[in-house]
Structure formats: C-alpha cells, structure tokens
Structure 1
Amino acid sequence: MTKTPPQGYHPLYFLAALGAGGLTVTFFLYFMFLVPHPQTPVVTADDLLLLWATGADWMRPLIILGLAGMLVMAGMHIRLLIWNLLQYRRWRKTTDLEQIEARNKDVAFMAIPLTLTMTINVLFAVGAATIPGLWSIAEYLFPGVLVVLIIIGAAALRMYGNYLSRLVMTGSFDFIGNANLSQMMPIFAFAMIAVAFAAPGAMSQNQLINAIGLFFAIFFLSLSALLGFVKLVVGVNAMLRHGLTASASPSLWILIPILTLSGITLVRLIMGLQHGFDLTVPKPALFVLTSIILSLEILFGLLGYVVMQRLGYFRDYLRGEQKSPGAYSLICPGVAFFVFGWFWIMFGLVGNDIVTPLTPAFFALMLPLILVQWKSLETLLKLNRKLLRKSAQPQIAT
C-alpha cells in the first residue's frame, strides 16, 4: 500500500475500508441464511462446527471458502481503516480546511463514523462465525457495544451539527458545486449507526438492553429519514438546474445502501418488538416491506447505471486513467443490493412459503446476488491496485 503524501489524501479513501467491511458481511450472510441455527438469532461458530461434523463432505470446502473470504475481507478492512486513520491525522495538519468548508466538501468527513460503525459489524460477524461459545456471553457484550455506538453516534452528531450550523448561519451552500447526491453521506452514516443499534435491540433477551437499542435505532433512523428527504430534494433540484458532472455521478447510487440499512433496521425493529414487547406482525407485511425497498433499489440502480454509462464514468474512472477516491462509492451499492436481496428472499419469500430453501428456484434467485457480490469484489480489488498501489499517486478529482 502506498504511503500517500498528505496533499494527495482525501477522507473519501475511508470508503475503501467501508467496502471491504461490507464484503466481509456478504460472506457471513451465506452462513447466516443457509446454515441452520435454531438456538440463536444468528449463526455461530458452534453451528458451523456442527455442520462440519455432520454435514455432507461437499459442504466442507464451501465452509472453508466462506470463512476464508470473510477473514480476508475483514483483514483488508482493518488494514485500510488503520491506514486511513493515520493518513487522515497527517492530512488534517497540512490541509486548508477553510477552503474545503467553503466548497461544502467537509461533508465527506462523515465517512469516518460511517466506517467505524461498519467495523463493529465486521467484528460482530467475524467473532460470531469463528469463536465457539461466544454467543453464551453475548448478553454481557451488548452493553459495551451500546456504549461504543453511543460514542460514535455522538461524534457523528457533533460533526454534522458543526457542518449544518455553519451552512445555516452563513448561507454558504454551493448549489452548483454540489449538484449531486454526495451531500447524503451523513444520511448514510446515520442509517449505518441506526442498523448497528438495532442489532442488540433485536437480539438481546434483556428488555432494558432491548429497549435502549431500539430507541437509538429509531432515533438515528428518524434523523436519517428526515435529512434524507431534505437532501434528496435539494440534490435533485440542483442536478436539474445545473447538471451532474461525471466525477460526482456515483452519488446517484448512495440511495441503495441507505435503503438497505433502513430496511434492515425496520426488520430488526420488528423482531425486537416481537420478543421484547409482544408485538405481532403478519409475515405478509415483511414481504411488502422488503419488496418495496428492493424495488426502489433496482430503480435507482438502473438510473445510476444509465447516467454513469452515458457520462463515461466507468470508462474513465474505473477502466481509464482518471483517479478519484470517490470511485470507491461504487462498492457499497453492490454490497447493499446483495445484502437486502437476501433479506427479500428469506423474509419476503421463504418466510411466506413462496420459495423453499435449497430448491432450483431458490438458487436461481441467489444467482444475480452472487454475480453482484463478485463484481463488487472485483471492483474493489481493481480500485485498490489503481489508487493504493505504491506506484500510484492519487489525483483527487472532485
């Protein structure tokens, strides 16, 4: 990995770590939804060991492949996270922040709490799948997880509060320079924090932990929804007036991970309310919820692809010579579509007895998700070679 000089660094490089973290979760989901785990809400290392001992011989290479993919991506996530934190610290000392603030580009700093929250998800997935007996002490870990999330959430609120208050007081928002959806990065971060809070809210058997997790999940999801509506209107209005530049066109896909995180948060809220507050939700409601969100993701995905193709983004920034850390924003939409595709299949279709697991129809539905996952992985590795190899000196295109 290149030791990028401070003047060549940009906070959007955190998206590289974010993408690797998301891909870690994609490998975990194969175990989550394909390995039986009747005693726990998530698959654990004990379930994998049982499958290894009692399952068919052909399953063992698949278990090894899934664990290897998860561990390699988790290692890449941690390595890129540490690299970014060190580079960011050096960059802050030598950068003219006033110039960045004048162009409203400091919104990119929200990639930091976004990525740190992803780290919690990565550690959870890796720990659950590789440490036998970990779930037996999960209730003791949940309070610590909530404390860490509260710290990250407070830091994110402070960071965004400083940004928003400056805009409100000075009226300095640059509509021409921000004729895109990159201003929705904070919404992405708050949605990520919401889904992380929803995990202990959905899985803890302690009602106090359950309630705390659900409250903060609702808080950050509500904030994400409110700001998302405002920023979407502002961004679309600016694009229609001033047009969208090629370098900013991937921002059209930011809605896909936001929708996925919001959808998973809602599903977890339903689960938490079911076992913590005796809420009864009919299974067809989950089919409707997951279908609406997946439909919106497909629509925004197609729109973004057509626009980026016509602007030559893939030709110039992915396969060509143009270099921009913003290209890493291509990874998360693919990861998000893969993840929520699984939620649609399992909660929407399998949960309503529309599709039976491990049948030809089930595998046919899995196929496009697998293709998206591997395309996202290929894109991440390609961008790493292009932007982070030692011979590459990043040229920041904004």
Structure 2
Amino acid sequence: MSSPSEAQMRPPYSPLYFLATLGAGGLMVTFFMFLMFWVPHPGRPVPIFEDIMGAFASGAVPLKAAIVAAMVGIAGLAFLMIKSLIWNLRGVAAFKTTDAYAALRTSNAETQLMAIPLALAMVVNGGFIVGLVFVPGLWNVVEYLFPLAMIAFVLIGGYGLMIMRDFFGRVLINGGFNCAKNNSFAQVLPAFAFAMVGVGLAAPSAMSGSAMIAGLSFILSSFFIVVAILLAVANVILGLRSMMENGANAESAPTLLIIVPLITVITIAWMRQNHGLHVHFDVHGGAGETLSMLTTLLMVQLAVFALGLTVLRRFGYVSKFVTGPEKSAGSYALVCPGVALSVMLHFWLNKGLVASGLVDKFSLAYLLISAVAIALQVTMIWLVLKLNAKHMGGTDRQVAVPAE
C-alpha cells in the first residue's frame, strides 16, 4: 500500500491558528510589565530605551537581571510572533481556495476569521513595544508615529467590521445561525478583536503631548471598545443559554475563558483614555477610584477563570488536547487568559495597591503578588512552546478544528 501524500497528511488549517500569533504577542506584554513598573521613567508614561539603559547601568543586580530577562523575552517572542504570523498568512491564503473555507463562510464558524484582525492588532501593539525597548531616540519622533499607528489600527478595525458585516448580513437576513451549536463563548472572539483594536487606538491618548491626537485617540478607541462590549454582552448571553440547554462544546471549552483577556484589554484601554483625559482635558480621578475599578474587574476575571477551569477539568481538556495526542486549533485560546491575568495582576498591584498606599513597592506582599503573575507568565510560555511544537512542528496527525 502506498503511503499518503504530504497534502493528505497535512493537518487542516483553521483561522484560529492566528491565536498562536496573539499568544506570542501577549507574552511580550508580560515581559514589558517588568520594565513598565520596575524601571523609572520620569516624565513619560512608558519606559524607553534610554530609561532602560540608564536603569541597567545604575540599578541593583535584581533590577539588572529583570531588565535582561525582559529584553531577551521580548526579542525572542517578537521573533516567534512574526514567524507565526507569516506561517498563518500563508496558511490562510491556501485555506481560502478550499471547500472548507466556503463552508466556514456559511456557518457559525465564520466569526473565526476575526482571529485575523485580532492577531494583526496584536502585532502592531507588539511592534510598538519593540520600538520602545530597542530603538534609541524613538521618543523624539513618537508624535509622528502616533497618527501612523492610528491609521493602521483603523484599517485593521475596518477589516474586522467588514468580516462582521458579511456575517450579520447573512444571518440577520437569511438566518441559518445554529443556536444549538453555539454552546460556547466562541462568538465572543469578535469582541476580543475589536477590544484589541481599541486598546491600540487608546495608546496615543495616554502618550501623546498633543491634545488633538489624544482627543482623536479617545474618540476612535471609544467606538471600538463600545462595539466590543455590545458584542460581548450579547454573545455571552446567547452562548450561556445554549450551554445551559445543550451542554458546553468540549473542543470549544477554552473559549469560556475569553472574558478574562477581554476584560484586561478593555481595562488597559480605559486607563489609557483616563490618563489622556487627565493630562489634556482636566478630568481627574484618584488612586482609590483606580483601585476600585481594577479590583472589581479582577474579581470578575477570577470568577470566570474558576468557572472555565472547572469545565475544562470535567472534560479532561488538557490531558486530551495539550499533553495528549489529540489536536485542536482552539487549544491556543488557553494562552490568552493566563497572559491576561498575569498582566492584570501587575496593573492591580502597581496602579491599584501601591498607588493607593495599601502595599509598599518591593515589600514582601509586593513580591508575592508579582511571583503569582510571573508564575502565570512562565506557564503560558511553556504552553505556547508546547502547542507550537505539537501543531506547527509536524504534519503527521489530524487536527480537530472547532466547527462552530
């Protein structure tokens, strides 16, 4: 008997593989947290190359070690992010010529295409981090970069809006949306994508010295954040109703955790907007207000995280699709919640507990909470490497692609 051809053996492609690009980019942010909150950057909302080099030259050994770890981590994950992006762009180009793509465009799974603008927005955000960390003198020209970045995010957001236009134009006119198979939070993915565009558009609001740029940033980011919230609320209700009636979809179970990264992204966007309103438009909020918001949203994340882990454990998801032999493109959705919770803990600790005076910086309590964030970060690095080796390191096994 002749052996199957390479084309026959090759795993079927899914747009959900763009979540691998997203995961690598998100992990870059976890390393940037070391620099954001541990490297002094007076007069600027974020640390830049000059701040980092100055801290490395004069800082204590632990700070130097953290800077080295951050820069190595950001560089390595940036490479992994771009490598994954190229792999996905090639994959989706070939996928669009298949019957599977035509079938996807007429099913619930059409919204999986929103993983593409989600990943592209993350790449732009990641590129800005690379510039801040590795490019000397970037802050001297950053005001010229903000309009270009906003144009890029608007184009990515517009691409996402066209995908959702086609989806809603089909299901709201012709029907055909299968509510019974909507037994997950897979339909919340578009909300996550628009939130990622929104947080990118909000960056100039926090960083620009121009009131015009900051105001435009506030307005544009608000549009995509509002769209994200509306989509999230509607689809969480629809998905929860279907799960209560039909049970959760085993392969799509990781989507139950998608609320966690969605909250982190929207929270950062709000904090960026609030900073811009404070600097340019005389809107003032205290440390206690920030602590209240961050604590409330973190508690929501922990509740959702506990629910999602309960369902995943009941399905034995990790032993099947992560450490076991079965393969599902949707397993990359496990990376985002851990990354998001790690980032949220850094913000809660530094912008909430420390800023309000509840915890002293670098005290024992501070180090313990930071250790939890770092433990989540290390676990997600392991998960990304494990999944990449499993899904992108060979072509000998079939992949289970969540269809809805």
| TM-score for the superposition, normalised by structure 1 | 0.97
Unpaired segments ≥5 residues, structure 1: none
1:151, distance to aligned residue in structure 2 (A): 0.8
Could you tell me which residue of structure 2 aligns to residue 374 of structure 1?
378
Aligned pairs for 1:291-306 (under 5 A) are 291-306=295-310
Match for residue 196 of structure 1 among 200, 208, 225: 200
Relative to 1, partners in 2 of residues 1:114 and 1:357: Cα closer, same or farther, differing over 3 Å?
same
Match for residue 68 of structure 2 among 58, 64, 70: 64
Pairing 1:225–2:268 present: no
Moved more, 267-276 or 92-101: 92-101
Aligned pairs for 1:7-18 (under 5 A) are 8-18=12-22
Pairing 1:28–2:32 present: yes
1:154, distance to aligned residue in structure 2 (A): 0.9
Q: Deviations over 1:151-189 (max 9, x none)?
A: 111111111111111110112111122211001110000
Aligned pairs for 1:91-110 (under 5 A) are 91-110=95-114
1:394, distance to aligned residue in structure 2 (A): 4.1
Could you tell me which residue of structure 2 aligns to residue 283 of structure 1?
287
Report the 3-state secondary structure (helix = DSSP H, G, I; strand = E; otherwise coil) of the residue aligned with 1:60. Answer: helix
Q: Deviations over 1:228-251 (max 9, x none)?
A: 111111010011111112111111
Identity over aligned pairs, percent? 34
Residue pair 1:181, 1:254 contacting (<8 A) in 2 also: yes
Aligned pairs for 1:338-377 (under 5 A) are 338-377=342-381
Could you tell me which residue of structure 2 aligns to residue 262 of structure 1?
266
Pairing 1:172–2:176 present: yes
Pairing 1:321–2:315 present: no
Match for residue 113 of structure 1 among 87, 99, 117: 117
Unpaired segments ≥5 residues, structure 2: 1-5
Relative to 1, partners in 2 of residues 1:144 and 1:395: Cα closer, same or farther, differing over 3 Å?
same
RMSD: 1.6
- Provide the rounded CA distance (Å) in 1 between the counterparts of 2:379 and 2:327: 19
- Provide the rounded CA distance (Å) in 2 between the counterparts of 1:58 and 1:375: 22
- Provide the rounded CA distance (Å) in 2 between the counterparts of 1:17 and 1:86: 13
1:6, distance to aligned residue in structure 2 (A): 7.3
- Provide the rounded CA distance (Å) in 2 between the counterparts of 1:234 and 1:245: 14
Could you tell me which residue of structure 1 aligns to residue 86 of structure 2?
82
Aligned residue identity for 2:303: L
Moved more, 301-310 or 4-13: 4-13
Could you tell me which residue of structure 2 aligns to residue 132 of structure 1?
136
1:256, distance to aligned residue in structure 2 (A): 0.4
Relative to 1, partners in 2 of residues 1:213 and 1:3: Cα closer, same or farther, differing over 3 Å?
farther
Aligned residue identity for 1:298: L
- Provide the rounded CA distance (Å) in 1 between the counterparts of 2:333 and 2:369: 25
Relative to 1, partners in 2 of residues 1:173 and 1:220: Cα closer, same or farther, differing over 3 Å?
same
| 4+ runs deviating over 4 angstroms | 2-7
- Provide the rounded CA distance (Å) in 2 between the counterparts of 1:205 and 1:81: 33
Moved more, 107-116 or 357-366: 357-366
Report the 3-state secondary structure (helix = DSSP H, G, I; strand = E; otherwise coil) of the residue aligned with 1:279. Answer: coil
Aligned residue identity for 2:120: L
Aligned pair count reads 397
- Provide the rounded CA distance (Å) in 2 between the counterparts of 1:84 and 1:280: 44
1:97, distance to aligned residue in structure 2 (A): 3.4
Q: Deviations over 1:354-386 (max 9, x none)?
A: 111111111011111111111111111111111
Q: Deviations over 1:18-65 (max 9, x none)?
A: 100100111111001111001211011101111122123453333222
Pairing 1:244–2:212 present: no
Residue pair 1:9, 1:394 contacting (<8 A) in 2 also: no
- Provide the rounded CA distance (Å) in 2 between the counterparts of 1:100 and 1:57: 53
| TM-score for the superposition, normalised by structure 2 | 0.95
Report the 3-state secondary structure (helix = DSSP H, G, I; strand = E; otherwise coil) of the residue aligned with 2:46. Answer: coil
- Provide the rounded CA distance (Å) in 2 between the counterparts of 1:4 and 1:77: 28
- Provide the rounded CA distance (Å) in 2 between the counterparts of 1:294 and 1:154: 30
Relative to 1, partners in 2 of residues 1:356 and 1:392: Cα closer, same or farther, differing over 3 Å?
farther
